[in-house]
Structures are given as structure tokens and as C-alpha cells.
A and B are shown apart, each in its own frame.
Chain A
Amino acid sequence: MINGEINTPYSLLLIAVMAAVTAFVRFSPFLIFPEGRKRPRVITYLGTVLPYAVIGMLVVYCFKGKSVLVYPYCIPELLAAALVVGLHVWKRNTLISVFSGVAFYMLLVQLVF
């Protein structure tokens, strides 16, 4: 596609494919294990411990585009993350922790690094 020439039907097709695949991934666990049926004990076990592991995975996922090997070596991210952890352990208030962390991070990437 060059210079904004948009193939409308094909673009619509691709969006439909992406929407369908995304929905498929989100729905599949519920389709494999529907509400009425008794599910194996091991599925319940995994469902209970997974959230803890998944949030760990997500935190790392947020850092995927960053590198500790090139400037600024993830320093803004690590400093802001430390502030969020510290504030949250201290105050236990999600809004204070998140918005202070964001403000501090924006300050760091816009003015310091």
C-alpha cells in the first residue's frame, strides 16, 4: 500500500481476522471448560496459582522493548518502579502509587534522560 492508497475490502478482511483471532484466544478457555461440567482438579489448581505467575509475566512484558545494555539502561523504568513499590508498600493506595509513578517517570524521560 503506497501513499495512502487504501484497499478497503482487504483492510476490512484483515481487521475481521484480527478481531476473530483475538476473541478466539480469549474465549477458548471458557469453551474448553464450560460452566456446567465438572472440571479436573488440576485445572482448578492452575487457575488458582496462575494469576500470581501471570502478573509477574506481565510486569516483565512491559519491559520488553527496553534494554539494560544501551542508554539509558532502563534506569528511568527501574527508578520509577522502585518508587511505585515503595509508595504502595507504605500507603497501599493504588491511585497514589500509579499516578506518582507516572509523574516521576514522565519527569525522568522528558527532563533528565
Chain B
Amino acid sequence: MTKRTFQRAFRDSLPILAGYLALGFGFGVLLESKGYSFWWAILMSITMFAGSGQYAGVDFLANGATVLTTAVMTLIINARHFFYGFSLLEKYRGMGGVKPYLIFGLTDETYSVVCSAQLDDTISRKKYYFFLTALDHLYWITGCTLGAVVGGVLPFSNEGIDFAMTALFIVIMVEQWLSAKDHLPAILGAATTVVCLCVFGADLFIIPSMVLIAFELMLFRKRLDKTEEVKRLD
């Protein structure tokens, strides 16, 4: 069962392997260009495990930002992660000793796979989530470290390979779209974020989007409460 579970987790993690090696590499190159050796890349990728957070972190380090600025900006950049835990309260129930690690490693990519993976009884959920999180973490550390060691010199152009993340999210959106009875939450999520991106700009749009999405979902509770997904809980 463990072998099967690992194989399944590995297969599901392959799109993330491509994306994390590419994004991590970019981060390592950037960090190294500011004079930080690869040890710093290893340290940050192990302890933070956050894509956009680490990219912004390079600026904070290089510019000697204040502790307050660093804390507030990191909070704003990673605020979307609050929603992830919120919607995994049920799925991560009873995960025992690995639970803190699962929560620590709840990145965009791991979250998207966790909330879309359909697991049958031949798969141990606890082990699957653990393998998936640990594999993703390993890919990320590897990518970040390689970037800092190699320092931007590659024999081929990898421009565009980071589209793996976008493609993964699109695939998961399609999967959800095909399985959901009511498409309203998906439409609200995407449309609200587009509007907030236009109104607030690329640096500030996430928190307004989150607040509005939560508000809208409450507004449509009566309608959405009747859908199969919610009914199953009662």
C-alpha cells in the first residue's frame, strides 16, 4: 500500500517537479546575484518554502529592509495561504504526527493537488499527503540550490518553463469545472480577482480579492448550500 501510495503521489507531483525546478532555479540565480552563496538558498528554501515570498525576500535582504516591512510584506504576499488551511480543515483532520509538516508545506501547488486528488481505498491519505508535500519540498530545495550554484549559466534557454504552474492550476480548474454542479464559486473566484487586479494593481490585489470572495460566497450561501458538494457534509 505504501508503494502504491508513493507512486501515486510521485505521479501527481510531476507537474510540480518541472515548475519548482524552474521557479526555484530562478530564485537561486536572483539570490546569488545579490552576493548570497547557495547556503542561503538552501536555508530559505527549507525554512520558508514559499515561491513569491522568497522572491520578494531577495529584495528585503539585498536592500536591508526593516523587520516590520519584511513581516508586513510577507504577510500580504502569503495571505492567500490562509484560505488553503481554511478549506482543508476537514481533509487534514486526523493526520496525526505529520499534520504540522503538512500545514507547514501548504504551498499553492501542493494545495491545488491536495484539494483535487480523488483517492480510493488503496491509497493511504495520510501517507499520500505526506509524500506529496515532502516531494514538493525536495524539488523546491533542489531547484533553489541549483540556481544559486550554477548562477544563471545554462546551456539551453528555459524561458517559459514556469508556465508549468499556470498549466497545473488551469488543469485543476477544468477538473473542478467538469465535476461541480454549480460553477458559481469558480466564476466568482476568477472574476473577482480579475476586477481586483485591475482596480488595486499587481502588488495589492490579493487581500481585497480574498475579502470580496468570502463576502460573495456568504451572499450566495442560500443557493450554494443546496449543491451536492455542501449537502454531502450533513
Q: Does B7 contact A (CB under 8 A)?
A: no
CB distance from B200 to the nearest CB of A (A): 11
Are A29 and B89 also in contact (CB < 8 A) when A50-B83, A55-B186, A110-B160 are? yes
Interface SS majority for chain A = helix
Q: How far is the CA of A92 from the CA of B179 in the complex (A)?
A: 12
Cβ-neighbour of B230 out of A10, A29, A48 (below 8 A): A48
Q: How far is the CA of A99 from the CA of B169 in the complex (A)?
A: 13
- What is the total of A-B residue contacts with beta carbons within 8 Å? 272
CB distance from A99 to the nearest CB of B (A): 7
Q: Does B106 contact A (CB under 8 A)?
A: yes
B113's nearest neighbour on chain A, judged by CB, is A94
Task: Pick from A14, A16, A18, A65 the residue with the most CB of B within 10 Å.
Answer: A18
Are A60 and B197 also in contact (CB < 8 A) when A3-B35, A13-B67, A88-B171 are? yes
Q: How far is the CA of A62 from the CA of B51 in the complex (A)?
A: 12
Taking a contact as CB atoms under 8 Å apart, the answer to whether B14 and A95 are in contact is yes
- What is the 8 Å Cβ interface bit string for chain A, positions 23-40, against chain B (1 contact, 0 not)? 111111110010100010
Cβ-neighbour of A84 out of B50, B57, B167 (below 8 A): B167
CB distance from A101 to the nearest CB of B (A): 4
Q: List 12 A-B contacts (CB under 8 A).
A: A18-B54, A22-B74, A26-B82, A27-B100, A27-B103, A52-B180, A55-B176, A58-B112, A62-B166, A80-B167, A88-B171, A89-B178
Beyond the given pairs A88-B174, A99-B18, 18 more chain A to chain B contacts, judged by CB atoms under 8 angstroms and listed by A's residue number, are A11-B36, A17-B74, A26-B82, A45-B221, A45-B225, A46-B214, A49-B224, A54-B189, A54-B213, A56-B173, A56-B187, A57-B213, A60-B194, A61-B206, A64-B197, A92-B175, A95-B11, A108-B160
| Interface residues, chain A, with chain B CB atoms under 8 Å away | 1, 3-7, 10-11, 13-19, 21-30, 33, 35, 39, 42-65, 76-77, 80-81, 84-85, 88-89, 92, 94-95, 97-99, 101-102, 105-106, 108-110
